[in-house]
């Protein structure tokens, strides 16, 4: 009888640690789950993570710029560098490659105009520019038409293609031509040091 009772007690006994891998880390298990000296091994060290976040935040805030975000630069287009440029404004953007001329203008009569010109006479480009000009004059009849436009082109594009577009712009009354460039920070800093 006593042997039966003992066997029942064995069945309902609380299960202990029963997974026994080949290399059981007993010491680690003890430190994690109990004993008199309960360690802090399970806590994630957050201080170093917050240090890293702080430095990252400071770096990103220092590089934060509210201008120049309006441009889509294709991967194969490398803008020329300049060190005495000024911040670019949001104007219709003309992208020039040796084969195509692309115009992107935003908010022209509550819509965006985007076209691609492949012919040499720039007829399609001229029509789009005339349409944008008319729209701007209609929206602001009391202000004179400024005719500001941004041009971006790869640094190795022959000047002939730039001149062709510039002639089309001038003939349509777009005389404020801005050449988009990459800011050469090293040259700019060197110039500032010399001036100081």
Partner 1 sequence: MARRQMHADLNLVPFIDLFSTLICFLLMTAVWNQIEALSTNVESVTSSDSPAPPDPNKVNLTVTIMRDRIEMAENETAYKFAIINDKLPLDKVIRGLEVWREKYPARKDVILNTENEIPYKYMIATFDTLVGNGWSDVGVNTQ
**Which residues contribute to the site for partner 1 (CB under 8 A)?**
46-47, 49-50, 53-54, 56-57, 60-61, 63-65, 67-69, 71, 73, 79-89, 147, 150, 153-160, 162-163, 166-167, 169-171, 173, 175-183, 185, 191
Q: Least CB distance from residue 49 to partner 1, whole Å?
A: 7
Q: Least CB distance from residue 104 to partner 1, whole Å?
A: 14
CA–CA dist 67, 45 (Å, integer): 38
Please state the φ and ψ torsions of residue 119, each to the nearest 5 degrees. Answer: -85, 155
* Contacts of 126 by beta carbon, 8 Å cutoff, 6+ apart: 168, 171, 172
Pick between residue 113 and residue 177 the one whose CB is nearest to partner 1: 177
Burial environment of residue 129 by CB neighbours within 10 A (0 to 12, 13 to 18, 19 or more): buried
CA distances from 9 to 2, 13, 16 (A): 11, 6, 15
110: tokens are 């509550």
Pick between residue 9 and residue 37 the one whose CB is nearest to partner 1: 37
Pick between residue 32 and residue 58 the one whose CB is nearest to partner 1: 58
Pick between residue 13 and residue 44 the one whose CB is nearest to partner 1: 44
Q: Least CB distance from residue 57 to partner 1, whole Å?
A: 6
**Distance from the Cα of residue 169 to its chain's centroid:** 30
Pick between residue 21 and residue 144 the one whose CB is nearest to partner 1: 144
Q: Least CB distance from residue 146 to partner 1, whole Å?
A: 10
Please say whether the dihedral angle defined by the alpha carbons of residues 19, 25, 26 and 32, taken in this order, is positive or negative: negative
Q: Least CB distance from residue 12 to partner 1, whole Å?
A: 40
């Amino acid at each position: 009888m006593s042997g039966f009772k003992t066997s029942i007690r064995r069945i309902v006994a609380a299960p202990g640690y029963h997974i026994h891998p080949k290399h059981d880390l007993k010491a680690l298990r003890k430190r994690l789950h109990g004993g008199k000296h309960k360690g802090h091994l399970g806590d994630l060290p957050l201080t170093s993570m917050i240090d890293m976040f702080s430095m990252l935040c400071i770096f990103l805030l220092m590089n934060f710029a509210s201008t120049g975000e309006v441009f889509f630069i294709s991967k194969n287009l490398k803008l020329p560098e300049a060190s005495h440029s000024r911040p670019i404004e949001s104007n219709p953007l003309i992208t020039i490659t040796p084969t195509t001329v692309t115009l992107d203008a935003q908010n022209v009569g509550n819509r965006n105009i985007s076209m691609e010109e492949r012919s040499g006479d720039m007829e399609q480009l001229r029509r789009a520019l005339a349409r944008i000009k008319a729209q701007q004059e209609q929206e602001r009849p009391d202000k004179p038409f400024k005719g500001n436009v941004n041009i971006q082109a790869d640094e190795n594009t022959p000047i002939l293609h730039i001149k062709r577009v510039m002639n089309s712009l001038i003939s349509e009354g777009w005389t404020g031509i801005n050449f988009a460039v990459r800011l050469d920070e090293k040259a700019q800093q060197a110039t500032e040091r010399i001036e100081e």
